[in-house]
Structure 1
Amino acid sequence: MLADMTGVLITLVLLVGYALLARWRPGAWTNGLVLLCAVLAGAWVVFRQLVGIPVLGSVVVLVVAVAAALGMLALPVLLIANGITMARKEGLRPANMLSGLLGVAIVVLMTWLAVSLGQQLTGPLYLGFGALLAVGWLSFGFLGFLASGVALGRRRCAPGPHHLVVLGAGLINGRVPRLLGGRLDRAVDQWRADRAAGYESLIIPSGGQGSDESRAEGDAMAEYLSEHGVPAGAIRIEDSASTTAENLRFSTELVTAEEPAGLVVVTSSYHAVRAADLCRRQRLQAQVLGAGTARYFMPSALLREYVALLAVHPWLNAVMVILILASGPLAWWLSTMV
């Protein structure tokens, strides 16, 4: 009984913590981790209540086991999907196959350890379990990243006076491709909603000219906006940025203090969490909106964004992975000392 009450209390504390974090730091990766912990704590309480019920208890145990396996498989499956997508789109080059081969290696590791259950533990098995724990840690972080992205994607922006900064992406033959068009369409929808409510918002298409582009992304984006009914007076072009950080900094510099309005950053759904992180690091009070993304593009994009988030704190994440990996050999060494 005490354990159940403790579990309920922990779940409530985590949910309250998530609600506060979502308001204080919307879109933060850590928000998703806290939400996942709350879900796991709540699931543990429910599990304890249901597991003793005949038949139903067995079903619950099976569901939990399957859910745990799927959670562990989330990252390797996405790695394999990304490898297949890259091979189909870009050819069978080693660089394109790397993520898929890594995903296959993780699945092979998990299968080997599962088959080895019940056997006498050896040094390689201890090392394998350490590697599996590291994969579990990275998978848990990835699920937290996804949870933050989903929560951010469900947010809606109330009508008002806004500066709508649209983050650029690569052009194709000097024209706006479907991916970038989705971001611009999202911004136009918000601009129209603001205008219908009596507010005049400003759209800032942001993006410089890449080495493989015939013109600046900001210019092509402004042309797209004009073709979709946005008047020139509601468009202010930023055409120098080459990174997301520069998109945000240069775009906000275009807005003067005499033009007070809420800052809204519009990007693709897969990029929203990192965009929100960059806004916080630049101390910008901004709301981030995510535009829809083609399904085939998502595996590669999500992996890239997750790795980019890990790279924000490279030493911390590297030390965590190394410590978790070392737990297997350490356990083996301790077993030999007994």
Structure 2
Amino acid sequence: MTAFVVAAAFLLLFGIGVLRDRRRFGNAVYLGLAVTFLCLGLFAEIDAAPPGVAETVMVVVLLVLCLGPVVLAGLLCANGVKMVRKEGRHPSNLLSLLAGLGIYGLIGLMIVAVATRSRPLGIAVGTALVVMAYVSFLFVCFVGYAYLYGRMRVRRDAGFVVVLGSGLIGGTRVPPLLASRLERGREVYDALAARGGRPPVLIVSGGQGPDEGVPESHAMADYLVERGFPEDRIVREDRSETTEENMAFSKRLMDEMDPGARCVIVTNNFHAFRAALMARRAGVEGQVVGSPTAAYFWPTATIREFAAVFLHHGKVNLGICLILVLLGAAVGLAG
């Protein structure tokens, strides 16, 4: 019963957090804790379940614990190989492959620790598992809430649509990933314009990189105009080089045209939740929506997004990981 009470408390905190501001990582943690304690409560009550249910649940749990990491690592490795083949050997494209290999490495160390009955190695592996469990919990919270956030209804009181830029092909042409953002931005614009009254302004945001012939925002605007979008409803923000600058410089333009107006920010779906966190920090009043991304690209991109959020809260997260490591070392010294 206690677990259910705790779950209800965290669910209440989650609801309050969403009502106050959807764009908070704390909402993801509250939801994750609520689900965790709910599962613990249900597991504690499993003895009261009808005959056969408890045994089935135990078998499923054991299969997930034993085979889940192996299967997950295999899928991550396969995705990592595909990423390298399609996107090249840039370090950021290796994340899913490295994650899969890391899981296999930890499994191998567990087998060695059991086989050799080495206490120091067993403590080291146990400590690594606890740290991995903490990071994995936050990752599941991130992915789960990002999924929910991406499906929240788009507000209809926005005066601006901001489409975030990305790299160009050959320094001048819009690639498929950026095209999907622009098409999604156009959909949001049309939905807002259909409400009646003055149509929104669409801001294309992106500066000129060292290997680009034109600013990204200019290529984005040309892409839209060539497909019939009204040029007089487009504003180019052509100075930004990072997402943080996308937010800051776009906010300045919006404040100049209509101070206090809300906006809808468009990026790719894997980037939507982190972009929302950055928009909140930048003081931008708006919701972030995502456009479709190729399935093979999603795992590595999501890991990269989570790593950025994890490190943004580095003092807390790395501090907790350090405490867990020190506790493991203390257990080893005590023996």
Q: TM-score normalised to the size of structure 1?
A: 0.88
Structure 1 residue 67, shift from structure 2 partner = 4.7
Match of 1:295 in 2: 295
CA distance in 2 between counterparts of 1:245 and 1:30 reads 20
Match of 1:236 in 2: 235
Match of 1:130 in 2: 127
Structure 1 residue 321, shift from structure 2 partner = 1.9
Structure 1 residue 323, shift from structure 2 partner = 2.1
Match of 2:178 in 1: 180
- The answer to whether the 8 Å contact 2:160/2:203 transfers is yes
Match of 2:279 in 1: 279
Structure 1 residue 228, shift from structure 2 partner = 3.1
- The answer to whether the 8 Å contact 1:72/1:139 transfers is no
CA distance in 2 between counterparts of 1:255 and 1:95 reads 33
Moved more, 84-93 or 74-83: 74-83
Match of 2:193 in 1: 195
Q: 1:61 aligned to 2:82?
A: no
Structure 1 residue 258, shift from structure 2 partner = 5.4
Judged with a 3 Å threshold, the aligned counterparts in structure 2 of structure 1 residues 95 and 228 are, in CA distance, closer, same or farther, namely closer
Match of 1:268 in 2: 268
CA distance in 1 between counterparts of 2:307 and 2:125 reads 23
Match of 1:17 in 2: 13
Moved more, 270-279 or 45-54: 45-54
Equivalent of residue 147 in structure 2, options 147, 150, 153: 150
Structure 1 residue 268, shift from structure 2 partner = 0.9
- The answer to whether the 8 Å contact 2:95/2:303 transfers is no
Letter in 1 for 2:28: G
Judged with a 3 Å threshold, the aligned counterparts in structure 2 of structure 1 residues 31 and 186 are, in CA distance, closer, same or farther, namely same
Match of 2:84 in 1: 87
The unaligned stretches of length 5 or more in structure 1 are none
The unaligned stretches of length 5 or more in structure 2 are none
Judged with a 3 Å threshold, the aligned counterparts in structure 2 of structure 1 residues 69 and 13 are, in CA distance, closer, same or farther, namely farther
Match of 2:166 in 1: 169
Kindly tell me the number of residue pairs found equivalent between the two proteins. 331
- The answer to whether the 8 Å contact 1:76/1:104 transfers is yes
Q: Percent identity?
A: 34
Letter in 2 for 1:124: L
The two structures, once aligned, show a CA RMSD in angstroms of 2.7
CA distance in 1 between counterparts of 2:91 and 2:250 reads 38
Structure 1 residue 116, shift from structure 2 partner = 5.1
Structure 1 residue 145, shift from structure 2 partner = 1.1
Instruction: For residues 1-35 of structure 1, give each alpha carbon's deviation from its aligned partner in whole angstroms, at most 9, with x where no partner exists.
Output: xxx2x222112111111111122231333322221
Moved over 4 A (4+): 66-79, 90-99, 114-121
Letter in 1 for 2:210: S
CA distance in 2 between counterparts of 1:72 and 1:331 reads 26
CA distance in 1 between counterparts of 2:302 and 2:71 reads 12
CA distance in 1 between counterparts of 2:200 and 2:37 reads 43
Structure 1 residue 94, shift from structure 2 partner = 8.3
Judged with a 3 Å threshold, the aligned counterparts in structure 2 of structure 1 residues 191 and 93 are, in CA distance, closer, same or farther, namely closer
CA distance in 2 between counterparts of 1:231 and 1:92 reads 40
Structure 1 residue 164, shift from structure 2 partner = 0.7
